[in-house]
Structure 1
């Protein structure tokens, strides 16, 4: 049975439901690129496309800025900004094509190109022959072709080497186009969700700056915030070695600066706490509201009754911890130094609690979106595995 996926838009929001993709029953044959349907063929890249190589920059026709004259993009051997380098006032290449990075970081990465453009720095340009789809070739090269680096120095890929790589191809250009369109749609939804997550993070960052500094007050709260030392709202405690208490089947997490590093059957503290690295990574606060063990490279805190623990966690995220570093080698913090840090606090614990809950709700929304993004990416992986090898046919 075919795997089940569908990624759709519903009222402008990303939505995913289960649905069976249309399939065509087809027998498979063994080839040098794996099993493919009997009606597919295997072609070398130079058998399904014409390969050109980018030249030196044509200075007389170049501008770093696009305008009505310099309107044709120039692409180079990089993946940053899809390889954009500048603009020409001439069309060096035009038509349905793709470029492949032939040198350096991102070696072998393909980008679909449309319209007129220029290419420099030995960038590889592929013009598919009439019966082959540029988008399909782009998807296959990016996700199924394993590029062998020809140089022990800067990675390089020549046109001769690229020409020898083989690609399995559906019998019609229409099927190739349909497959590429399905994968492109999945990419678009992933990109849209990534942008939404970035937007939500920016909104939260702004909310933290306003709410945690008193610049913006919530309805029902007034009164001037007070400058207090952290030592007035918490006590910094040292973690302890975990060597004697490790139990891989234990109920409680063992925490280090990098997060959970093991399990134990005992705990060092069983109340809500904010943790910060004592040595090494000193700028990544952690929050725990269940029992835990903290090792000796991390501090945990006992939060006093006049403070709300999650509010303290968010305040910790505003601190420039490296400005309190007390070592010239491995970054280190001192418990007394932490307790002497001065910060603004609301006069009431109720306001702290309300602020923390608003920010926690934002975190929960972002976390849910991140989980959805991972699910989308897994679905895209499955789509590529099945569509680019003919295990599932779109009709």
Structure 2
């Protein structure tokens, strides 16, 4: 296939004619391996950057580790990390990258490398994004399989990683564009976290009667869950021993714990479906039922929107004498506490007696419905923000692929 005018073929792909392909070491004035020892950990002092502190191209010090001045001096004998330096992990996992922020006194933990860029050749932010790009990450993955059990990115391989290099002004323009999208992502993540906290606070206040919605004044009552619904456990044994129990063309889903943990309020699909024989050995659950997991991930409620069967890892709340969504949110509020009372064995589980005996506070039905509506609206807002966040992340990935390969030009 002919190369488009204004572009050229290189060993690692097609790039604009005025771009170069250079090994990473040619963009750096130093590539320094970490100190291969564990520092003495202290409660305060100099920050020690560890693999778990690097997330999504950023340094996350929400769970920071520290060392004393003596070990800081030992670990910075060759160089002290400074603003604009990049850090890349060599293993467990390899290829995580971040930039040292301004004003941070820090040293490197194990299994990471410091990259000090030549500012006359390269923008640190551009190289950060280049290292995070699909092509370079793929090269890291392919080149890193040197250990018998843990992949390891060796220093000679790291130095030879091929980087697409436009002129410095274009590097800076690309870095600015991608940084702007990252700023938008950070703002969305902060807003989402704030909205989640607000919803959690609203659940605590509304589901306990600490705050009443306008127009509601009647007394609440305390009832056991077993008095509010007929709680039935799924069938046993689970239909897992024979493939004749499954039929992917069937319309009856078989609910697994993983199906519930990845869904929101409503269960709309399952990974497996049951044959008539499988249905026979499970408990059919009517569409629109409220079910809850009682083993492994205990106390996770969900409302079914499809025809399903449950096994003995679930209970169903039949004949509800309360607003279904109010009980759903009440179960969500209780969920963190179930594990404190569950039975432990090969995995955590709840017995039906514990569930039926659990007491909940119930306002009159109209107030239950109103509270559930408020919390549902908050969930809808959260879902909209989460969808926007997913779309923005996908937009950033597309922009990185376009801008870092020169398919789309900014200058």
Q: TM-score, normalised by structure 1?
A: 0.78
- Deviation, 1:339, is 1.2
Q: In 1, distance between residues paired with 2:106 and 2:120?
A: 22
Distance 1:271 1:351, change over 3 A: farther
- Deviation, 1:182, is 1.0
Question: What does residue 376 of structure 1 align with?
Answer: 392
Question: What does residue 262 of structure 2 align with?
Answer: none
Distance 1:189 1:115, change over 3 A: closer
1:76 equivalent to 2:49? Answer yes
1:262 equivalent to 2:272? Answer yes
Cα pair 1:98 1:138 within 8 Å, conserved: no
Q: In 2, distance between residues paired with 1:367 and 1:289?
A: 18
Distance 1:52 1:83, change over 3 A: farther
Cα pair 1:77 1:103 within 8 Å, conserved: no
Distance 1:358 1:252, change over 3 A: farther
- Deviation, 1:34, is 1.9
- Deviation, 1:44, is 0.8
Q: In 2, distance between residues paired with 1:55 and 1:290?
A: 54
Unaligned segments of structure 2, at least 5 residues: 37-41, 260-269
Question: What does residue 145 of structure 1 align with?
Answer: 136
Q: In 2, distance between residues paired with 1:145 and 1:165?
A: 7
- Deviation, 1:295, is 3.4
1:345 equivalent to 2:390? Answer no
Distance 1:75 1:275, change over 3 A: same
24, 30, 40: which one pairs with 1:45? 24
Q: In 1, distance between residues paired with 2:177 and 2:316?
A: 49
Cα pair 1:77 1:83 within 8 Å, conserved: no
Question: What does residue 99 of structure 1 align with?
Answer: 86
- Deviation, 1:358, is 0.7
324, 342, 347: which one pairs with 1:325? 342
What does the per-residue CA deviation read over 1:138-188, in whole Å, with 9 as the maximum and x for residues that have no partner? 111122423215544676545433211111111x11111111111111111
Q: In 1, distance between residues paired with 2:340 and 2:102?
A: 51
Q: In 2, distance between residues paired with 1:375 and 1:199?
A: 20
Question: What does residue 408 of structure 2 align with?
Answer: 392
Secondary structure at the residue paired with 2:271?
strand
Q: In 1, distance between residues paired with 2:369 and 2:81?
A: 60
Cα pair 1:79 1:105 within 8 Å, conserved: no
Worse-matched range after superposition: 155-164 or 354-363: 155-164
Cα pair 2:87 2:99 within 8 Å, conserved: no
Distance 1:56 1:291, change over 3 A: closer
158, 161, 170: which one pairs with 1:162? 158
Q: In 2, distance between residues paired with 1:252 and 1:26?
A: 56
Secondary structure at the residue paired with 1:314?
helix
- Deviation, 1:273, is 2.3
Q: In 2, distance between residues paired with 1:327 and 1:108?
A: 38
Distance 1:350 1:115, change over 3 A: closer
Cα pair 2:31 2:114 within 8 Å, conserved: yes
Distance 1:216 1:173, change over 3 A: same
Question: What does residue 265 of structure 2 align with?
Answer: none
Q: Which has the higher helix share?
A: 2
- Deviation, 1:292, is 3.3
Secondary structure at the residue paired with 2:333?
coil
Q: In 2, distance between residues paired with 1:64 and 1:279?
A: 38
Distance 1:257 1:78, change over 3 A: closer
Question: What does residue 18 of structure 1 align with?
Answer: none
What does the per-residue CA deviation read over 1:109-135, in whole Å, with 9 as the maximum and x for residues that have no partner? 332346565544464132225132111
Q: TM-score, normalised by structure 2?
A: 0.76
- Deviation, 1:389, is 0.8
Question: What does residue 209 of structure 2 align with?
Answer: 214
What does the per-residue CA deviation read over 1:176-213, in whole Å, with 9 as the maximum and x for residues that have no partner? 11111111111111111111111111111111111111
Question: What does residue 130 of structure 1 align with?
Answer: 120
Q: In 1, distance between residues paired with 2:114 and 2:122?
A: 18
Cα pair 2:244 2:275 within 8 Å, conserved: no
What does the per-residue CA deviation read over 1:310-337, in whole Å, with 9 as the maximum and x for residues that have no partner? 1111111122222342353332322233
Q: In 2, distance between residues paired with 1:110 and 1:128?
A: 17
Cα pair 2:249 2:273 within 8 Å, conserved: yes
Cα pair 2:92 2:151 within 8 Å, conserved: yes
- Deviation, 1:224, is 2.8
334, 338, 359: which one pairs with 2:351? 334
Instruction: Say how many residue pairs are matched.
Output: 358
Question: What does residue 223 of structure 1 align with?
Answer: 218
Distance 1:227 1:244, change over 3 A: farther
Cα pair 2:33 2:155 within 8 Å, conserved: no
